[in-house]
Amino acid sequence: MKKDVVILTGAGQIGMAIARRVGFGKKIVIGDKSLTNAQTISKIMNDAGFDTVPVEMDLSSRESILNLIAEAQKYGEIAMLINAAGVSPSQAPIEAILKVDLYGTAVLLEEVGKVIKEGGVGVTISSQSGFRMPALTPEQDELLATTPTEELLELEMLRPENIRDTLHAYQMAKRCNEKRVMAESVKWGERGARLNDIAPGIIVTPLAVDEFNGPRGDFYKNMFAKCPAGRPGTADEVANVAELLMEPAGAFITGSTFLIDGGATASYYYGPLKPQE
């Protein structure tokens, strides 16, 4: 029997938390570069009454994305996309961050947008990190939003000589995610579908734990200690926002980015996290 299908990319804590909120009764196709991660999350969810299947896929490859979509379509129409795959500044070199987080996300939103079911809905995960970078020019924003996916990594601002370090690459990728969601939501809207973005602050997951133990560990610990919430967040709190965005209560919300960071960005601009001159 055909079911509505959810594509979940990134078998991590955030992705699973969202899929558990919105995926019951649907077929959930879980794609991850690590088949072990996909299998682990698939088993946890199947043991809890969900209907999932793990698939090995690489977000940095269009071919792999198309294979995942084809696999998903075997089960029915794609009604939902949850993109929670990504690499962090401490996990990968500049090139990989741009290929996975920036290019891969753009391709995924584009390709799923071509086949999403009428009335379907998608959410992708960017980061508060994109909010800390100074504003880009309107021209740069438009280039990030609308440059054809295969030309994105050729943009002057993304050339290796213009990217300072992995954090800068990550910030550019996450800024690009916001802009792509705006531009893609217009196309998704032609199919009656919606697309939004969530920009989390520090959420305790394996990715964040790598950051706590990485070269910027003290920076991150200071960040959550001095943000208004005074603590890191949980994947379930991100899922609270995703549930609103993906359910009918969010029907008027599309093309938007939602910051959920315990107030860290507010403190960065106007509070104790403000960088000292």
Ligand X SMILES: NC(=O)c1ccc[n+]([C@@H]2O[C@H](COP(=O)([O-])OP(=O)(O)OC[C@H]3O[C@@H](n4cnc5c(N)ncnc54)[C@H](O)[C@@H]3O)[C@@H](O)[C@H]2O)c1
Positions annotated as catalytic residues are 170, 174
Q: Is the CB of residue 251 less than 8 Å from the CB of residue 221?
A: no
Residue from 19, 29, 32, 65 binding ligand X (CB under 6 A) = 32
**Least Cβ distance, residue 78 to ligand X (angstroms):** 17
Nearer to ligand X by Cβ, of 3 and 229: the residue is: 229
**58 touches ligand X by CB under 6 A:** yes
**52 touches ligand X by CB under 6 A:** no
Using DSSP's 3-state secondary structure scheme, residue 47 falls into helix
Nearer to ligand X by Cβ, of 101 and 254: the residue is: 101
**Least Cβ distance, residue 35 to ligand X (angstroms):** 9
**Least Cβ distance, residue 95 to ligand X (angstroms):** 12
**Least Cβ distance, residue 67 to ligand X (angstroms):** 12
**85 touches ligand X by CB under 6 A:** yes
**13 touches ligand X by CB under 6 A:** yes
CA nearest 202: which of 172, 174, 233, 229?
233
CA nearest 65: which of 106, 27, 24, 15?
106
d(CA 266, CA 128): 11
Exposure of 230 by Cβ count < 10 A (0-12 exposed, 13-18 middle, 19+ buried)? Answer: exposed
Residue with token string 């000589």: 161
d(CA 223, CA 193): 36
d(CA 157, CA 55): 34
**39 touches ligand X by CB under 6 A:** no
Using DSSP's 3-state secondary structure scheme, residue 156 falls into helix
d(CA 174, CA 136): 13
216 to 275, contacts with ligand X by CB under 6 A?
Answer: none
What number of chain residues touch ligand X (CB under 6 A)? 30
Q: Is the CB of residue 260 less than 8 Å from the CB of residue 39?
A: no
Cα end-to-end span (Å), the chain = 62
Residue from 39, 42, 52, 88 binding ligand X (CB under 6 A) = 88
Residue nearest to ligand X (CB): 12
Contact range with ligand X by CB under 6 A, out of 19-27, 81-89, 154-162, 241-249:
81-89
171 to 210, contacts with ligand X by CB under 6 A?
Answer: 200, 202-203, 205-208
**Least Cβ distance, residue 194 to ligand X (angstroms):** 20
Q: Which residues would be at the binding site for ligand X (CB under 6 A)?
A: 9-15, 32-34, 37, 57-60, 84-88, 100, 125, 127, 200, 202-203, 205-208
